[in-house]
Structure 1
Amino acid sequence: MNSFISKTLIPSISLRSSTRLTLTPNSLRHHKLHLPRLMSSQSSQRLFQLKLDPLTGNSEWVVIQDNDELPECYKEPLLAATSYLDMLNDSCRNKAFRLAIDKTVTKPCHVLDIGAGTGLLSMMAARAMGLNGTVTACESYLPMAKLMRKVLHRNGLGKAINLINKRSDELEVGIDIPSQADVLVSEILDSELLGEGLIPTLQYAYDKLLVENPLTVPYRAVTYGQLVESSYLWKLHVLYGTEAKASDGICLVPTGLDSILHVKSQQYPMHCDAIRNEIKLLSEPFKIFEFDFWKRPESHRETKVRIKAIDDGNIHAIVSWWVLQLDSEGTVFYSTAPRWINSLTNIGNRNWCDHWKQCVWFFRGKGMPVSVGKEVLLEATHTETSVLYNLNVQVTQTDIRQHDYKIGDFQLLLSPERIATYGDGEWRLSMLTAVRNALHGRVNTLCVVVDDSIFLTLLAVNLSKTSHVVSLFPGLREKGAQYLEKVVKANGFSMDRVEVPEKRKASLTLHDTHGRTVDMLIGEPYYYANEGMLPWQNLRFWRDRTLLDPILSEDALIMPCKGRLKACAMSLPDLWSSCRCLGEVEGFDHSIVNTTLGACGELPAPKEGPCLPFSIWQCGEIKELSERFTILEFDFSKSITSCHGKAEVQFSEHGMCHGFVLWVDWVMDAENSVVVSTGPDHRYWKQGVKLLSKPVAVGINGSKSTSEFGSTVVEALFEPASSELIIKNAFS
């Protein structure tokens, strides 16, 4: 097991310790991971960086030796994309661990810290023992191990703590560590609790690395859940119930093929407080599993919970969270519960943070109807890395849908946001209008769908009975082709009018199109591998359009015809607090990590915080302080090129400005009549956030206060060669 992925670079696994997953270039495809720009795996004394270019979809492995510093071009983007900074700014988390360690480590002993990160827990343990015992810090992720070594030296603990850059399940007593450890301290928890490999990590530790009956921090965790009804959550995983109302005639999930297109059965992290007004609670909170860290855990368990409904409704999902008991006496706790739960407990509300959220599990179908007092049976199962749920209910005859077509084992799994987009009536109407207008007056059209849009493929064929559509599906590939083969009959046409190239190509030639030039080149744009990334990274559409330029007809229609980089100044106090520069964290100087972890505020010139993707509606307290404005436009009628733009920002509200939120509006037609926005009003896309070097008090234009600004200038530079969009503002 030599491969290793850093925390939150791959959100669905987000590993920091010794999880037993072998992730190689081949297995990455097997696990269907959506990659950001950089990821890594560590083997022996080498670090393998997998650099992904979002504009080309190409990736390459870059090998860096252990005794080399990470090159600047890799180091900062790599670690800035992790959630270490957010964790270290979580004062409630840090205080809870400090209190528990001080209560647990009361005499000199051997303490083992697994997944040590910057070494905070290791330093806490060393301090608690008065530097008399032994502390072994295990950190598998090489860039973080390098950073931890700097933190330890900054705090004068470089010799007091033994840092080992290995996976914990590669450690051997007598070789790597002098003896079995008396105390285990670790924080290898994700929003689901188990996703970072907690169970296999503890199993190996108990088998090989710990004394009999060791002490542990944390001591125990309990997972809880609550049954809810929510039309918003329902739309994130059900399509056939929403697209029936669409006027475009397209069936992405035809009758009889209900399971062909859906989300993966897993728990999805989400800030549920943001949708509290759209959630109807159908049960009281209930306990699901208890995990005792003070003993060797089991790999697999099942439980059944009888739950009484407290209101009438349809059960669409489970909202789940966990409560961490950090000390054996039960006096130190931390909870990831939503605020409507924490307000009823004595644990207290934690500060907003993004590294731990609640989780949502979707129940397939229309939802299970319940009435007040009715009992339902919930079946829960946990594996080594996840928790699965099922409602044990007998389906009524009216809920059974006829299955006219066989799909075998094939299913196309998309993200909840993509399912919701395909079910959004306004979005579908925009696409219908744009494609219908584009096809007006055209016959025998050769249309190329350059991105991963299954919807546009079906729509183009449906609206023109004489068109031929070539779908490149750069991310979906054969999965997209298999999906089309299953649904074409239900949509009233045959596969002889649709083509998906068998081999992945950077571009098409006239040979591929049988000598025909392309009349229409269209996209949403949407790329399967770019989900969760910065919105302008879908400018890959522009690059793909440029590569196809040699086979475009003179009057070829490009859709969208342009993109607009939009922005808005915002007050984002919660997000700012989670990303701000670090000073002392529980008495230990962490200022040395700020630049590497992409912090905002008080950075030495000319350093700036990175622009990172966030779902603004989930970022806690937010307030728009300016009108929304356009910084620059991308003209897709021309080949891709660098471009620059700037705009003066007029502030319309008083407040503390923490940064700018940026997104792309896709202008679908030359008349500007159809515009698809990825801005903060739309929950199904992430926006880019550029936080300021320090918050600035702003006011309505004309304010005479010297501490307030009436306006400022924001500019942007897009460079295709580097796939980067550089944002500058007058506050910097």
Structure 2
Amino acid sequence: MFRSNLVPLLSKQVPLRLTRAMSSQFQLRVNPLTGNSEWIVIEENDPESPTPSNTSQTALLATTSYLDMLNDSPRNRAYRQAIDKTVTQPCRVLDIGAGTGLLSMMAARAMGPPSSTTCRMVTACESYLPMVKLMKKVLRLNDMENQIKLINKRSDELELGVDIDSRAQVLVSEILDSELLGEGLIPSLQHAHDMLLVESPETVPFRATTYGQLVESTYLWKLHDLRGNEAIACDGISLVPTGFEDVLGVKPQQYAFHCDAIANEVKLLSEPFKIFEFDFSRRPESGGETELSVKATNDGRVHAIISWWILQLDREGKIFYSTAPRWINLPANISHGDWCDHWKQCVWFVPGEGMSVKKDKEVFLHAVHTDISISYNIKSPESRNTSMHYGVTGRDFRLILPPERIAIYGDSEWRQTMFDAISNVLQGRVDPLCIVADDSVFLALLIAHLSKTSHVMSFFPGLQDKGVQYLQAVARANNFSVDRVEYIKKKKTELTVHDTHQKKVELLIGEPFYYGTDNMLPWQNLRFWNERTMLQSVLSEDALIMPCKAILKACALSIPDLWNSRCSLSKIEGFDHSVVNSTLGACGELPGEQEGPCLPYFIWQCGDVKKLSEAITVMEFDFSKPIMPSHGKTQVEFAEPGICHGFALWIDWVMDSDDSIVLCTGPDKRYWKQGVKLLAKPVEVGKSSSAVIEAWFDPSTGDMDVRHAFS
């Protein structure tokens, strides 16, 4: 259900990186400036006064999608209606992945007024301790502590006769992600049907059906076909050389994506088609497959399969919830929901340049599901009986990068920017020693390509051995000897001139890009500044640092859909949730001086968005000096009237000392996430309005404290 930029994927049913110790748990997080893993303590007790461990928990929970989910009114209403129809008398109810306890409270209320008969008839299991703590608060606030039995376990850890007295007659659950299966829906249902539920139980939801559509989209094609896109570039670098088509690419999987944002860039090549159906009231199979014959509705090239699902919440088929893109004409009894970030559509990339189709001709789609994912294989009638493999062919490894990174590496403008910057700094340098501080395979190749006498040392902090294997594989195709690129396994703090062959480093560079940090805030890539500082002892006096500096930029936004998905909660279908606002990072109505967090988003995918001001500079970070605390303050003049919901913040990377080559990562650049600081309350502004933005950067944590004030 939610992704955090501090920890790996967490969910209500997917195993957590937690270890138990008496009355506390320890959870792994990553320090954004060092890349080092750290443990934070999650205490079992729940003191009201903030402590360091509580602060860490709050910061972590604010990055999840719980708040967005709880603000999804169509979802909440559909569940309430279905539970009211299903739970019409006292019965045993099991809630898997209870979260804040909303579904459990709905079920308890549906049984009628509290009595000795209905006491603790609802069992709620929730494995994630911070959510257990929040749920206890919510139950207490709504005077339902005695009606619901809360168990801090995964559902497959529950034991009949120990945790629950008897099998449940009704299952309520919301363990769904954008793909449907990624939160462990199938294994959770299997165990529940085997061990926890009566035969033929009632379930809410009752059924889920996945659908798909064939599309042509240049944008989606750029997110995965690096070979096809870099053919347009004229820099002589081959990230995917001929014969090495499988050496670098995206993972063959479905990617959650706000497809409405590219509605004008999509050519539909088929009608929607049904793929899989999952009946929650029956024990599901771990795997399944189907082959569909899909008729093309237009000439074109299939670049992707866009998929979504429709949830039938009641047995009779009267209550539905859909994640379909808005261009889909839904039946009259199913409506499109509001914009939300917790459930999106999914995109499956058709390999390479895609497959050409002709109108009215058939395309054969082979769909397979495991217990946690769905994948596809698309064939023309001519290749229907041939085997197609969408993965590695004949290689021991494959370098897997995020789709946006593939698109950046294939972007001619970005590549030209890097080419110009590196060419300039290498002029006049003989046998330069260069260090690539981050995970950029492109820059390592570019230096070796442009300077035949250079020696390149790469840290590859995230890619590690895979980065080296990749460079070794493509070195000859890029016309340089593999021994000119060296992988440094030492920590940056331990590096000496002995490790650099008694030479001082003349060029220290980065994009910056750190593998595995896709959900980090833009300024957390200032890790490059921290690493430059750690390498001070091996830098020559005239060493060139690239980028030379970073600029924190900002602009004012009207962004109502995102604001509404993150706003403070009051009552949800009659249940008070105000107690969770502070912990979940809501905007508006927080206690005292507390403000909501900055969170990372692709702003262009955030529904209705309008810029209300020009981009302004908040502060600069000079990489010629060691990392230090920084402060900036600037005034925002509004250029457009409207309702201001917050500010976008991003980093522009200045690649040269003349400030002539600048890499912008702002809202207009769709391959980078920006930070969003939402206001406590939206403010109506005119062209004469102004605001002040002030920011403080803490080099010990990598955090940026952003404040604002309206004139």
- Indicate the TM-score class for this superposition, using the shorter chain for normalisation: over 0.9
1:26-79 per-residue CA deviation (whole Å, 9 max, x = no partner) reads xxxxxxxxxxxxxx5667853112131110001122344423557232121111
CA contact (8 A) 1:656 1:697 kept: yes
Partner residue in 2 for 1:692: 679
Please say if 1:279 is aligned against 2:266.
yes
Q: Structure 1 pair 65/654, CA: closer, same or farther in 2 (3 Å)?
A: closer
Please say if 1:7 is aligned against 2:16.
no
Please, which of 61, 73, 84 is the counterpart of residue 39 of structure 2? 61
Q: Structure 1 pair 122/44, CA: closer, same or farther in 2 (3 Å)?
A: farther
Aligned counterparts, 1:202-601, within 5 A: 202-342=189-329, 345-393=332-380, 408-601=395-588
Please say if 1:72 is aligned against 2:72.
no
The alpha-carbon deviation at position 603 of structure 1 amounts to: 1.4
CA–CA distance in structure 2, aligned partners of residues 128 and 492 of structure 1: 71
Partner residue in 1 for 2:181: 194
CA–CA distance in structure 1, aligned partners of residues 244 and 515 of structure 2: 22
CA–CA distance in structure 2, aligned partners of residues 52 and 477 of structure 1: 17
The alpha-carbon deviation at position 15 of structure 1 amounts to: 4.8
CA–CA distance in structure 2, aligned partners of residues 362 and 548 of structure 1: 40
Partner residue in 2 for 1:623: 610
Please say if 1:106 is aligned against 2:91.
no
CA contact (8 A) 2:311 2:321 kept: yes
Please, which of 115, 121, 125 is the counterpart of residue 97 of structure 2? 115
Judge which range, 48-57 or 190-199, deviates more.
Answer: 48-57
Structure 2: gaps of 5 or more residues: none
The percentage of aligned residue pairs carrying the same residue is 63
CA–CA distance in structure 1, aligned partners of residues 636 and 5 of structure 2: 35
CA–CA distance in structure 2, aligned partners of residues 682 and 63 of structure 1: 38
1:257-279 per-residue CA deviation (whole Å, 9 max, x = no partner) reads 00110100110000000001110
Structure 1: gaps of 5 or more residues: 1-5, 25-39, 702-709
CA–CA distance in structure 2, aligned partners of residues 137 and 53 of structure 1: 33
The alignment of Structure 1 onto Structure 2 pairs a total of residues equal to 695
Q: Structure 1 pair 121/305, CA: closer, same or farther in 2 (3 Å)?
A: same
3-state SS in 1 of match to 2:327: helix
CA–CA distance in structure 2, aligned partners of residues 386 and 490 of structure 1: 36
The one-letter code sitting in structure 1 at the alignment partner of 2:63 is A
3-state SS in 1 of match to 2:376: strand
Partner residue in 2 for 1:658: 645
1:487-529 per-residue CA deviation (whole Å, 9 max, x = no partner) reads 0000001112111124455452111101100000011011112
CA–CA distance in structure 1, aligned partners of residues 19 and 281 of structure 2: 30
Q: Structure 1 pair 293/729, CA: closer, same or farther in 2 (3 Å)?
A: same
CA contact (8 A) 2:5 2:519 kept: no
Please say if 1:721 is aligned against 2:708.
no
1:323-381 per-residue CA deviation (whole Å, 9 max, x = no partner) reads 00000000000000000115665411211100000000001111110000110110000
Partner residue in 2 for 1:88: 70
3-state SS in 2 of match to 1:295: coil
3-state SS in 2 of match to 1:632: strand
3-state SS in 1 of match to 2:109: helix
CA–CA distance in structure 2, aligned partners of residues 451 and 407 of structure 1: 29
CA–CA distance in structure 1, aligned partners of residues 160 and 403 of structure 2: 45
CA contact (8 A) 2:122 2:149 kept: yes
CA–CA distance in structure 1, aligned partners of residues 111 and 589 of structure 2: 34
Q: Structure 1 pair 234/41, CA: closer, same or farther in 2 (3 Å)?
A: farther
The one-letter code sitting in structure 2 at the alignment partner of 1:7 is F
The alpha-carbon deviation at position 722 of structure 1 amounts to: 2.0
The alpha-carbon deviation at position 685 of structure 1 amounts to: 0.8
CA–CA distance in structure 2, aligned partners of residues 387 and 12 of structure 1: 24
CA–CA distance in structure 1, aligned partners of residues 294 and 5 of structure 2: 34
The alpha-carbon deviation at position 142 of structure 1 amounts to: 0.3
3-state SS in 2 of match to 1:334: strand
CA–CA distance in structure 2, aligned partners of residues 146 and 469 of structure 1: 50
TM-score of the superposition, structure 2-length normalised? 0.95
CA–CA distance in structure 2, aligned partners of residues 633 and 268 of structure 1: 35
Q: Structure 1 pair 605/177, CA: closer, same or farther in 2 (3 Å)?
A: same
3-state SS in 2 of match to 1:433: helix
Q: Structure 1 pair 14/544, CA: closer, same or farther in 2 (3 Å)?
A: closer
3-state SS in 1 of match to 2:695: strand
The alpha-carbon deviation at position 602 of structure 1 amounts to: 1.6
The one-letter code sitting in structure 2 at the alignment partner of 1:330 is G
Q: Structure 1 pair 15/586, CA: closer, same or farther in 2 (3 Å)?
A: same
Q: Structure 1 pair 117/569, CA: closer, same or farther in 2 (3 Å)?
A: same
Partner residue in 2 for 1:140: 127
RMSD: 1.9
CA contact (8 A) 2:432 2:453 kept: yes
Please, which of 42, 47, 65 is the counterpart of residue 25 of structure 2? 47
TM-score of the superposition, structure 1-length normalised? 0.92
